[in-house]
Amino acid sequence: MRHLRTLRKKLTCGAVRFLTIAAFFGVQSVAAQSIWEGGDVENGQNLFNANCASCHLVTDGVLAAPGLAGIADRWGATDELLVLWIQNPQGAAASGDGYIKSLVERYVGTYGWMSAQAVSADDVRDIMAYVQNPPDVTVTASTDSGCINIDELPVEEESDSSTLWFVILLVMFLLIAMSASGVNRQLTNTLREREGQAMLEDISYLSRLSSWAWKNMVFVSILGVFIVAFGVVKGYQGLMGIGIYEGYLPEQPVKFIHSVHVCENEVDCKYCHHSAYESKHAGIPSTNVCMNCHKAVKEGSRYGEVEIGKIYAAIGFDPETGTYLDGEGRNGHSSPQVSFNGAPIKWNKVHNLPDHVYFSHQQHVVVGGLQCQNCHGDVETWSAGRIASVDHINTLVDKYPGLIELSKPTLSMGWCIECHNKASIDLASSEYYEEMHNRMKDDVRGNEELRRILEDDKITVKELGGWECAKCHY
Ligand code: HEC
Ligand code: HEC
Ligand code: HEC
Ligand code: HEC
Ligand code: HEC
Ligand code: HEC
């Protein structure tokens, strides 16, 4: 027994010693490794987008702070101070380091203090790996932004031409019919005059029309049937919602341009529509979110101060002094740039499903792994929000691998149903699905329907119940 205990003690001691040595070497190797080397670019990109992208660009451009291009060459303090600066800027400044002092003198007056970021030293290494090797930026920069704005593309005719042609044809038809009846009357009259008979009495157009209609019953009935059929088709299309939504582009209170933000300045959809990943709604960002950047970005290249000024008016911000107007100050304020109206920006809703339909963004974006573009098109080329047509989305398959091509009009019930029939579920995406799948495989004997479902080893949303009325309807 005692023997055993000492043996165990020896073993534990050995293990502890081994661990200590390992830890020592581990620490040594981490400390020896520079913060500018060996980071994971991909993880760095995610961390950068989540923590830094609201203020910094990875290029030279200025957002709400200096761009981080060339930071590896520029940074004049130690690695430890870099980490400390990011975790606690004021703390780093207190170190008295010369470079950091110059940083503070140069920028804090303009941009205010950088806010402390909850990232570890390893995170910083990954972020710096990304900042030094941003994958796409060179492409964007070399083509002078390379961003297209859909408003600068030729506009497609979207008027309902079938109705227009129908009306034109109908009017022409009536004119021909009426003038024909007029000519007919004149001919009859001349004939009668020559033969010395009494002229046709001068009757009203209406009674002339009705007597003409009686005489041309077959033709009139065909025309009638035609008009009724046209009405029925149009009414049906209206009821089924065809063409109601696609292309809808309402006026917005501020001329917000998606392409300027998403493409030119590389702001992720998630930055403004983060609730798409967490809830039913994607939501529209509040004015405070705009102010994260527009506190510093006071002018746009297209509309100058006009459109950005509307954000200031809504939130009560004086761009000249860089301060928020509060309480009394708001009313007594007399800056020519801002007339504070305190009314939040009221964005007009573009997409709007009827109340009886249940739709969740999180289910589609997170669980289903779908890209925003599959339902909304290439928003990074948009100005304001609009409803993309299915035909347009289908042209994007080369640009977005994995896009599911559909044919029914966007937002119609047929569209949801069609995709649920086509979209397959990645069973490996969650343990829940995997377990369910395995259980189904065990049950499969003697169950014809299950066998059919599992046959192609592809499970569609429909097969999991995505066609059940109650899934989409309250
Ligand atoms: C709220 C805005 C904001 C966020 C978020 C932010 N920074 Fe900063 N950063 C600044 C500002 C502003 C400065 C300039 C110094 C100052 O005014 O405090 C700065 C300076 C820096 C500098 C020094 C630049 C130079 O030229 O030497 C580095 C490096 C830096 N930030 C890294 C980061 C990293 C990495 C993140 C994300 C983990 C981050 N920052 C997040 C605002 C921000
Ligand atoms: C992550 C930073 C960021 C956020 C958040 C942001 N913007 Fe911007 N915005 C910019 C930058 C950068 C520009 C480009 C200025 C330029 O044209 O050079 C800009 C430009 C603009 C312009 C001017 C376009 C022009 O060319 O005149 C408007 C209007 C605008 N933003 C509105 C908004 C609104 C509204 C919000 C909030 C819903 C918002 N922005 C949120 C960074 C941001
Ligand atoms: C499966 C299709 C689908 C995908 C994928 C999708 N959306 Fe939507 N989106 C919709 C539908 C449908 C609506 C209308 C919802 C309603 O009216 O209730 C909508 C509405 C919106 C709205 C208006 C505000 C709201 O919440 O109703 C925004 C903003 C939006 N989507 C952004 C996004 C973003 C960003 C992504 C990607 C992260 C995305 N969507 C992915 C189908 C989709
Ligand atoms: C800087 C903030 C910002 C970013 C980044 C951004 N959006 Fe938006 N988005 C807005 C604002 C503000 C509106 C409301 C004004 C409008 O409809 O244009 C909007 C509207 C929309 C709408 C229409 C909403 C409705 O009322 O139905 C969709 C869809 C949408 N965004 C999708 C996206 C997608 C997809 C991305 C990424 C590719 C994206 N947005 C990136 C700010 C942003
Ligand atoms: C581009 C393809 C696509 C479109 C369009 C689409 N969905 Fe889906 N939907 C999916 C996928 C994929 C899933 C499965 C997500 C998962 O793995 O649970 C899903 C799941 C669902 C679910 C959950 C089903 C269940 O069995 O729990 C509902 C509810 C739903 N969708 C409603 C809608 C509605 C309403 C619309 C139309 C406004 C719509 N979807 C349009 C692809 C789509
Ligand atoms: C995948 C989601 C989904 C499923 C499953 C679904 N619906 Fe719908 N349904 C919708 C959407 C979206 C609309 C709204 C279409 C519109 O506004 O044009 C709608 C509209 C309707 C309407 C109203 C038509 C109108 O013009 O507003 C009826 C009725 C309806 N559905 C019945 C059903 C029945 C019955 C089932 C089951 C057999 C069913 N739905 C299954 C998504 C679905």
The predicted-structure confidence for 213-228, as pLDDT tens digits, reads as follows 888 888 888 888 888 8
Give the Cβ contact number of residue 211 at 10 Å. 12
- Predicted local distance difference test score (pLDDT) of residue 443: 66
For the chain, the C-alpha Rg in angstroms (whole number) is: 35
Q: Are 188 and 203 contacting, i.e. CB atoms less than 8 angstroms apart? A: no
pTM higher than 0.75: no
Residue 410 in contact with ligand 5 by CB distance below 6 A: no
Q: Which ligand is nearest to the CA of 375?
A: 3
Ligand 4: which of 379, 392, 396 to mutate, judged by most atoms within 8 Å of the beta carbon?
A: 379
Q: Whose CA is nearest to atom 37 of ligand 6?
A: 469
Residues in the chain: 474
Six-digit token string for 253: 């209170």
> What pLDDT, on the 0 to 100 scale, is given for residue 91?
92
pLDDT of residue 86: 94
Which residues line the pocket of ligand 4, CB cutoff 6 A? Answer: 252, 256, 258, 261-262, 267, 269, 271-273, 284-285, 347, 349-351, 372, 376, 379-380, 384-385
Query: Is residue 285 within 8 Å of residue 272, measured between CB atoms?
Result: yes
What is the Cα–Cα distance from 104 to 84, expressed in whole angstroms? 14
* Token output for 146: 């390379």
- Ligand 1 centroid to Cα of residue 461, in Å, is 44
CA 466 / ligand 5 centre spacing (Å): 7
> How far is 85 from 269, CA to CA, in rounded Å?
28
Predicted pLDDT at 13: 44
* Angle made by CA atoms 424, 425, 426, in degrees to the nearest 5: 120
Centre of ligand 5 from the C-alpha of residue 82, in Å: 45
Instruction: Dig out the tokens for 147 from the structure.
Output: 């961003």
Nearest-CA neighbor of 39 among 133, 175, 163, 107?
133
Cβ(419)–Cβ(413) under 8 Å?
Answer: no
Contact 65, 111 (CB under 8 A): yes
Q: Which residues of the chain have pLDDT under 50?
A: 1-2, 4-31, 137-144, 153-159, 243, 327-338
Would you state the pLDDT for residue 167?
83
Structure confidence at residue 87 (pLDDT): 94
Q: What is the pLDDT of residue 32?
A: 55
Pocket test for ligand 3, best of 279, 348, 375, 386 (most atoms within 8 A of CB): 375
CA distance 470 to 474: 6
Cβ atoms of 308 and 294 within 8 Å: the answer is yes
Residues 393/403, Cβ–Cβ less than 8 Å: yes
Residue with the smallest CA separation from ligand 4 atom 20 is 385
Burial 174-196 (b: 16+ CB within 10 A, else e): eeebeeebeeebeeeeeeeeeee
What is the residue whose two structure tokens read 């002229």? Answer: 199
Ligand 6 centroid, distance to 284 Cα (angstroms): 26
